[in-house]
Amino acid sequence: MDIALVRAPNPSPYTLDGTNTWIVGRDPAWVVDPGPALGAHVSAVAAAVRERGGAGGIALTHDHPDHAEGAGALRDALGGPPMRWPGATDRLADGDGFGPLRALHVPGHAEDHLVFVAGDGAFTGDAVLGEGSVFIAPGGGSLAAYLDGLRRLRALGLARLYPGHGPVIEDPAAKLDEYVAHRLEREQRVHAAWAAGARSDDELLAAAWDGIPAGLRLPATWTLHAHLDKLRAEGRL
């Protein structure tokens, strides 16, 4: 499919180089993740959509501000095309279609997080990043459900993944295998640390994480607790 990227100027430890807004197709074009409410970014996305014949609709993978905050302004700028997101009244759910996009539920980073499949590609939001791994947020759904979602995505045999942050993923199978293996290896380390007597967050993080980048200790702690919840649910602690 004819896909364009407009990257928002909001770099941070959480957003890497910035939030990726994807524009899919032409006559009409479809927007995935409008991004933050930054005037220059909203204007750039609107201009790119107009160049492609106008908007068929706007889709959001989830409602975190770095992906969704600019949605209202973009919709106004484009004349009010339909907009769908997991938390909307007319929400998209697993298997629903919206223009060329088909929703796949992949919770974990957010409870109602969706991935949008189009042709042989998928727009993964914060379920899969172009670089690094995602954190499992409180109330985002279980780590087990996240792993199941990654495996469902892997089974589709896609050619490319278009993440919410970072570069395009040209080998989805390898990336998804890496993501699942990373989580299971981290789980083993958490379990081993617990078995050795570690109980505090500090002890478990030190044992199971090789290093935590500056500013990311809180999401690492959230992810630690997602691992502990999974191990408890499986009767392994």
The stretch 20-48 carries a mean pLDDT of: 98
Catalytic pick among 66, 112, 171, 202: 66
* pLDDT at site 88: 67
Annotation marks residue 66 as catalytic: yes
pLDDT value at residue 1: 78
pLDDT tens digits, 121-171: 999 999 999 999 999 988 888 999 999 999 999 999 999 999 999 999 999
pLDDT of residue 99: 97
String of DSSP letters for the chain = --EEEEE-S--BTTTBT-PEEEEE-SSSEEEE---S--HHHHHHHHHHHHHTT-EEEEE-S---HHHHTTHHHHHHHTT---EE-TTSTT---TT-EETTEEEEE--SSSTT-EEEEETTEEEEETTS-SSS-----TTS--HHHHHHHHHHHHTT--SEEEESSSS-BS-HHHHHHHHHHHHHHHHHHHHHHHHTT--SHHHHHHHH-S---TT-HHHHHHHHHHHHHHHHHTT--
pLDDT given for residue 86 in this prediction:
81
Q: Say if residue 184's pLDDT is above 90.
A: yes
